[in-house]
Amino acid sequence: MAALAGSAIHNALIEIDGPEVPILDGSAMPFVKGLLARGLREQAAPVRAVRVLKTVEVREGEAMARLEPAEMLEIDFRISFDDAAIGTQTRSLNMANGAFVRELSDSRTFCRQSDVDAMRDRGLALGGTLHNAVVFEGDRILTPGGLRHHDEPVRHKMLDALGDLALAGGPILGRYTGDRAGHALTNRLLRALFADPGAFRLVDCGPQTVGKLPGVGVHRGDLPVHP
């Protein structure tokens, strides 16, 4: 979902012939690369976006997710882990144009070795390897080659958030703030937004707004390059 939203694809038919979407390298970059290589087609219908009109917030324990009014999509995120190799990370990004492709698309999912052991004990994540996730253990990074960015974990959380927000059915025009938030909490946030008719408005985007949506105008040259 993040690859679609971050590549400015608002209308797509997706067919999957297996039980789940392939993880590939654990980031959105292989999907973005494939989408851009195939090419996009502009349609005559206007892009319909969800404009946030007032602040909506949900919490669960120490985790929080919030949407508030803003002209364009902005994402602020904070994570905090006991593992020294992750620690506390924060990042803010205006998602206009190709920011997702350049700054976030290559950031891989991550976990701790203890999480991997627990999942495998339950027969889960059997296809997971050190080549499709960043695995941490205390102050060590177990994945060969280390990190693609010094703050790759928080960037991946922002990638997740963009994909989760795409479930709104159109681009979000607002500011998203996540503090230790995950997929479930962002989904609850969207449900809270749509439960309040005064909190949002569906709008047709004019040329000026469309030009600042995530992914508009991106090309393969915007993709990060890794060995």
131, 150, 183, 226: which one is catalytic? 183
How long a stretch of residues is the chain?
227
Alpha helices in the chain (DSSP H): 2-6, 29-38, 99, 113-121, 152-165, 183-195, 207-210
Spatial CB neighbours of 182, under 8 Å, sequence gap ≥ 6: 63, 157, 160
Give yes or no for a contact between 135 and 116, defined as CB atoms under 8 angstroms apart.
yes
Q: Which residues pair with 79 in a beta bridge?
A: 89
Give the Cα-Cα-Cα angle 82, 86, 89 (nearest 5 degrees). Answer: 100
Residue 10 among the catalytic residues = no
- Residue 41: closest CA among 8, 82, 2: 8
Distance CA 179, CA 79 (A): 6
CA atoms within 13 A on the CB side of 183: 7
Spatial CB neighbours of 110, under 8 Å, sequence gap ≥ 6: 86, 133, 134, 135, 136, 152, 153, 156
Catalytic (active-site) positions = 183
